[in-house]
């Protein structure tokens, strides 16, 4: 079959692959940002010219075929529009770390009394104390002279009021929950007066230098918000359930490490709800409060400020660590809220279609991603099944030669180009798996919101013990198995001449290859939808072997601290003693009161410790050590490649054993 393909039909594939290889080897990434968007635009135009000229009609097509063909084309056009907006966006990039260095040095030279006051808002509704405590303790440890921490409790919990009072933390509440998070913050704005407000979600613990690194950007009067990325100390459901924490980045890394620096270069970065500092004067210019027309009040605030000439500046540094969704249910609650909020903004005068914005600003704030991602993946999974079970064709006049000449080049150009522009942060198979996993639950929410944007309840993402789930996502698993079964049934039916449904046999090899890819994706989706628990109550942080000590029977034994959590540690004594599981020791750590501990594991020369009866003071000190300082989680992603082989190995070989 390949011998029937004219050699010139393969030139686009060879040209795209060759150009991508050349750009991958180039030292200057600016070259890729200049060339890749143009290359993708050219290959998309080449592909669409073929689609419109050759694939919309043909012999033997009925009305149902034409409807299916046009629907598939419409989804493709939406995907290409979204993809080209992203390519244009990624043609620029801004790195503000050097500027942050200058600002930090300047602020350090000032008298502390000259630094402006900052209110720290921690909105909360139902988060448990083990989640809130980290954030509050770390917020109180921020290195800034004029600081007031406020807990904004929409749960109106008496125990939290007492807990805050005992620690000198401000506590604010209101009589109702109107306006959800935005309303909560607005109520607090009316009762506070610092010229700057740092908003932290209840699960985001800031590092001590957060304000030192960010406040200097407000020296530019155009800056209304300074935003830091969301980074996490626990694995998200995809990393955890696929057992790929050290290989696969969390699903928000592409956005925060690649897309947001690009948005910043175009002055269209936006507030992300947590880890953002707001200039109160800019807020006063737009009415003195956050807009409440959308459940994504953060993006809407950025748009309102943008119309008044205020921009959001982005500093891509780890300045706070938070909780990634701890279950698939929590993941979908969070993503559905984001999707609904982004679509709601379309219907507002203050949204991207309202007056007062440039064309590029409108393009970069369109929520096309939420619609195209779910629709494209759904059509990609369902189209082969529909074709094999009904005979309806998604694309007319296509065989293996056309796939090689047109379809593979456009897919390679987009995915390869995005991987180049993202500097390796985009992982195609992982992205497709996550998109397929999300489509089952998010597509209905997106479509309903598109036609009925309001009237949906605001749901807080479950955190801590409220997010725990040991049950597989039955809807996702059932849907994936059903599509796999239907695909297999279609392939089997069409191999027998007497019962086959498909008459256009040239499409069978294409659909068979398509189905194999879909089966791999869906099997990974099933694995992803089955919870796999970490086996640890708290995430551990790497401590680099810093000095520590064990006190045994009154004798001090020097040790190296390998890792630490608020509930235990891994240490390596400098001298060998016959330690056994169950032995009791006293632990001396830097900046932490002495702790009593039980040995729960002996791994060669290293001892696993569980702390016993930790006092409030010791727990707060541990939180400050772990979150206020710059320590990385033990299971942080390693700077290595190989995501594709790891995903396939996970599918074929299963998961490694759970940690002890």
Tell me the two tokens of residue 414: 């987009």
Q: What is the mean predicted confidence (pLDDT) over 4-29?
A: 84
Contacts of 135 (CB under 8 A, 6+ apart): 122, 200, 201, 202, 203, 204, 205, 206
Q: What is the mean predicted confidence (pLDDT) over 336-346?
A: 91
Q: Give the confidence band of 265 by pLDDT, cuts at 50, 70, 90.
A: very high
- Say if 358 falls within a structural domain: no
Same domain, 128 and 207: yes
Integer Cα distance of 617 and 572 in angstroms: 25
Contacts of 623 (CB under 8 A, 6+ apart): 133, 134, 137, 138, 205, 566
Same domain, 108 and 67: no
Same domain, 310 and 379: no
Is the confidence at residue 510, as pLDDT, over 90? no
Same domain, 60 and 131: no
Contacts of 365 (CB under 8 A, 6+ apart): 268, 270, 299, 303, 345, 351, 352, 357
Same domain, 446 and 560: no
Q: What would the 3-class secondary structure string for 513-526 be?
A: HHHHHHHHHHHHHH
- Give the pLDDT score at 504: 63
Q: Give the confidence band of 2 by pLDDT, cuts at 50, 70, 90.
A: very low
Query: Given the structure tokens 């089966």, which residue do they identify?
Result: 519
Same domain, 408 and 486: yes
Q: Of 59-63, 147-151, 479-483, 521-525, where does mean pLDDT reach its minimum?
A: 59-63
Gyration radius of the chain's alpha carbons: 27
- Say if 363 falls within a structural domain: no
**How many structural domains does the chain have?**
3
Q: Give the confidence band of 1 by pLDDT, cuts at 50, 70, 90.
A: very low
- Say if 385 falls within a structural domain: yes
Mapping DSSP to helix (H, G, I), strand (E, B) and coil, where does residue 242 land? coil
- Give the pLDDT score at 569: 95
- Give the pLDDT score at 578: 83
C-alpha closest to that of 569 among 593, 595, 591, 551: 595
Query: Given the structure tokens 């046009």, which residue do they identify?
Result: 70
Is the confidence at residue 161, as pLDDT, over 60? yes
Mean pLDDT computed over every residue of the chain = 90
Query: Above pLDDT 70, what percent of the chain?
Result: 94
- Neighbour order of strands in the sheet with 320-322: 205-206, 320-322, 231-232
Is the confidence at residue 422, as pLDDT, over 70? yes
Same domain, 260 and 402: no
Same domain, 282 and 420: no
Q: What is the mean predicted confidence (pLDDT) over 531-535?
A: 74
Domain span including residue 36: 9-89+369-467+471-528
- Give the pLDDT score at 616: 93
pTM (two decimals): 0.93
Same domain, 129 and 226: yes
Is the confidence at residue 140, as pLDDT, over 90? yes
Same domain, 501 and 563: no
CATH number reported for the structural domain that contains residue 230 in this entry:
3.90.550.10
Same domain, 486 and 577: no
- Give the pLDDT score at 656: 65
Same domain, 83 and 107: no
Is the confidence at residue 466, as pLDDT, over 70? no
């Amino acid at each position: 079959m390949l011998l029937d393909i004219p050699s010139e039909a393969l030139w686009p594939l060879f040209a795209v692959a060759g150009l991508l290889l050349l750009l991958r080897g180039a030292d200057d990434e600016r070259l890729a940002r200049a060339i890749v968007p143009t290359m993708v635009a050219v290959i998309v135009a080449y592909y669409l010219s073929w689609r419109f000229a050759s694939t919309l009609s043909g012999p033997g097509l009925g009305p149902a075929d034409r409807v299916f063909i046009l629907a598939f084309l419409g989804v493709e056009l939406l995907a290409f529009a979204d993809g080209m907006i992203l390519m244009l966006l990624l043609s620029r990039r801004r790195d503000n770390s050097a500027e942050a260095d200058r600002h930090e040095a300047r602020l350090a030279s000032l008298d502390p009394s000259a630094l402006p006051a900052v209110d720290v808002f921690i909105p909360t509704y139902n988060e448990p104390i083990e989640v809130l405590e980290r954030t509050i303790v770390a917020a109180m440890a921020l290195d800034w002279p004029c600081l007031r921490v406020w807990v904004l409790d929409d749960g109106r919990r008496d125990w939290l009021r007492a807990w805050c009072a005992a620690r000198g933390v401000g506590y604010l509440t209101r009589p109702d929950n109107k306006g959800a998070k935005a309303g909560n913050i607005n109520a607090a704005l009316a009762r506070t007066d610092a010229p700057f407000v740092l908003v932290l979600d209840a699960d985001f613990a800031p590092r001590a230098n957060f304000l030192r690194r960010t406040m200097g950007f407000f020296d530019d009067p155009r800056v209304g918000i300074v935003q830091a990325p969301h980074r996490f100390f626990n694995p998200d459901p995809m990393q955890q359930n696929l057992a790929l924490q050290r290989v696969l980045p969390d699903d928000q890394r592409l956005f925060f490490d690649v897309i947001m620096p690009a948005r910043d270069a175009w002055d269209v970065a936006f507030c992300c709800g947590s880890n953002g500092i707001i200039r109160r004067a800019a807020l006063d210019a737009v009415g003195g409060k956050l807009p409440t027309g959308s459940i994504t009040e953060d993006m809407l605030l950025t748009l309102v400020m943008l119309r008044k000439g205020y921009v959001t500046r982005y500093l891509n540094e780890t300045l706070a660590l938070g909780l990634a969704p701890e279950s698939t249910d929590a993941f979908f609650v969070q993503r559905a809220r984001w999707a609904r909020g982004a679509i709601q903004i379309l219907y507002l005068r203050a949204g991207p279609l309202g007056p007062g914005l440039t064309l590029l600003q409108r393009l970069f704030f369109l929520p096309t991603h939420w619609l195209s991602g779910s629709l494209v993946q759904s059509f990609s999974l369902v189209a082969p099944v529909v074709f094999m079970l009904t005979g309806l064709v998604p694309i007319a006049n296509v065989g293996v030669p056309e796939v090689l000449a047109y379809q593979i080049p456009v897919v390679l150009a987009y995915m390869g180009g995005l991987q180049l522009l993202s500097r390796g942060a985009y992982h195609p198979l992982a992205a497709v798996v996550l998109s397929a996993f999300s489509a089952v639950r998010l597509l209905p929410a997106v479509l309903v919101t598109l036609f009925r944007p309001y009237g949906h309840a605001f749901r807080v993402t479950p955190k801590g013990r409220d997010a725990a789930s040991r049950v597989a996502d039955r809807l996702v698993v059932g849907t994936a198995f059903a599509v796999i079964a239907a695909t297999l049934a279609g392939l089997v039916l069409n191999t027998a001449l007497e019962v086959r449904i498909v008459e256009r046999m040239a499409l069978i090899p294409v659909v068979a290859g398509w189905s194999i890819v879909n089966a791999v994706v869906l099997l990974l989706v099933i694995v992803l939808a089955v919870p796999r628990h970490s086996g640890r109550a708290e995430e551990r942080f790497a401590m680099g072997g810093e000095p520590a000590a064990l006190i045994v029977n009154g004798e001090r034994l020097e040790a190296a601290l390998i890792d630490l959590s608020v509930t235990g540690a891994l240490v390596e004594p400098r001298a060998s003693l016959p330690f056994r599981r169950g032995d009791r020791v006293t632990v001396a750590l830097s900046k932490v009161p002495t702790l009593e501990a039980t040995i729960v594991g002996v791994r060669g020369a290293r001892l696993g410790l569980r702390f016993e009866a930790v006092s409030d003071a010791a727990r707060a000190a541990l939180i400050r050590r772990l979150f206020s300082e710059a320590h990385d989680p033990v299971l942080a992603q390693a700077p290595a490649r190989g995501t594709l082989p790891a995903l396939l190995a996970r599918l074929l070989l299963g998961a490694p054993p759970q940690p002890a």
